[in-house]
Homo-oligomer: A and B are copies of this chain.
């Protein structure tokens, strides 16, 4: 872990102000270059009590152009946040292109506090740090600059600083959550912080220690550190990704699609009976899940015309409209994008207690975006791990994730395409894209096989559903939903 120190001469007040005024413009021009380059920036400010974190936050807002900065302070989660996975709180606050997110208290704060007060085990703590590493890796790989600064004092300096603060009434009520003392001896706390930083100090998200014993030197150190850091990254054209393992050339997957048996079917009377039975049970169990604040996420993917829409319609018939939501997010057009592809999905995660149905999903990254070349090879290869992590965050928060792949044969697909073209209210469902995708069936099949192999986790496995017979597929979907709801109790 690196230390950063401004070594210039700071004689007196006058001199300091001059340095600030001159060097501020250096920092500001770097900020404007970052804005021009549409690079998002995350700055984490951390440090001991009395080290001047909030002074630094104020100064950065003053030195840089504050219109492109958003400052975030650790606060207990709002009820909307508490009802969702841990990282949701941060995803909704991430800076967009050219923006800077200034975090005083960050994703580190909660695990840190939980660790300090002993409410989580060491093992759990390390696993949460591991989640943080993955989170920062994902942001960096997508182009976000991350810099983490820790302001440091010796024990003696800290005691002096705290005493001084207590005598100034304007400041005394400003203690924030991570300022709390927890009765830990200074040295022990410092050791724990060092451990945490060591674990999470990575080339794409480095920690820097800054000596905070002299406020003016501290301020200039932070200013120069940021200027240098931005400069290096601008020269490189983005974050230093040398520490991120590149997705390795991967082994061929099993041919799941070829091995699927598409023949299963169900006759009409049996279908009617089963659907009615399942509907009633699901209706009741979704309400129970709602009362227990348990959520269900259903992901529908499948071949074009495999009957995703019809299956979804049958499923929602079984759920009170107050408790479900169907989300369809169109694939991004071409390579245009302004935020991480998972951002769109993170943002829309429902509160605890609801059923969310995705008509196509984040898997677009490894399907259409891969096949059509909208994502680079490195991007889609990286996506498998990112998606697994995303679904892990969901399931960690108690959400059950059900993923359905609805499959039909090429012949059946052709039949359905033709039928669609003659039915008035289905015409809108068939586009040139569908015909084009059909020609790329081989590429799609191989992308699907890779997806199934790489993202079938024990917490969120794929369910491959033969949909040659629509009725059979619909019953299967309801059956799996019902099984999942039953297990939730």
> A78 vs B104: C-alpha distance in the bound complex, in angstroms?
25
What bracket does the count of chain A residues touching chain B fall in? 35 or more
| Interchain CB contact under 8 A, B322 and A104 | yes
| Interchain CB contact under 8 A, B174 and A58 | no
Can you report 6 A-B residue pairs in the complex whose CB atoms are below 8 A from each other? A32-B428, A54-B322, A61-B321, A71-B321, A169-B284, A170-B280
Question: A322 — which chain B residues lie within 8 A by C-beta?
Answer: 54, 57, 71, 73, 104, 176
| Interchain CB contact under 8 A, B321 and A67 | no
| Interchain CB contact under 8 A, B325 and A71 | yes
Question: A327 — which chain B residues lie within 8 A by C-beta?
Answer: 67
Q: A54-B321, A58-B321, A67-B326 known; A173 and B424 CB under 8 Å?
A: no
> A317 vs B55: C-alpha distance in the bound complex, in angstroms?
10
Q: Does A425 contact B (CB under 8 A)?
A: yes
* Chain A contact residues, CB within 8 Å of chain B: 24-25, 28-29, 32, 54, 57-58, 60-62, 66-71, 73, 78-80, 102, 104, 169-170, 173-174, 176, 280, 283-284, 287, 291, 312-313, 316-317, 320-322, 324-328, 359, 424-425, 428
Partner of A287, one of B25, B102, B174, B284: B174
| Interchain CB contact under 8 A, A316 and B170 | no
Tell me the smallest distance from the CB of A361 to a CB of chain B, in Å: 13
Question: A73 — which chain B residues lie within 8 A by C-beta?
Answer: 322
| Interchain CB contact under 8 A, B287 and A29 | no
> A104 vs B327: C-alpha distance in the bound complex, in angstroms?
19
Interface-central residue, A61, A70, A327, by most chain B CB under 10 Å? A61
> A104 vs B323: C-alpha distance in the bound complex, in angstroms?
12
> A173 vs B285: C-alpha distance in the bound complex, in angstroms?
12
Question: A317 — which chain B residues lie within 8 A by C-beta?
Answer: 58, 62
Question: A280 — which chain B residues lie within 8 A by C-beta?
Answer: 170
Tell me the smallest distance from the CB of A315 to a CB of chain B, in Å: 10
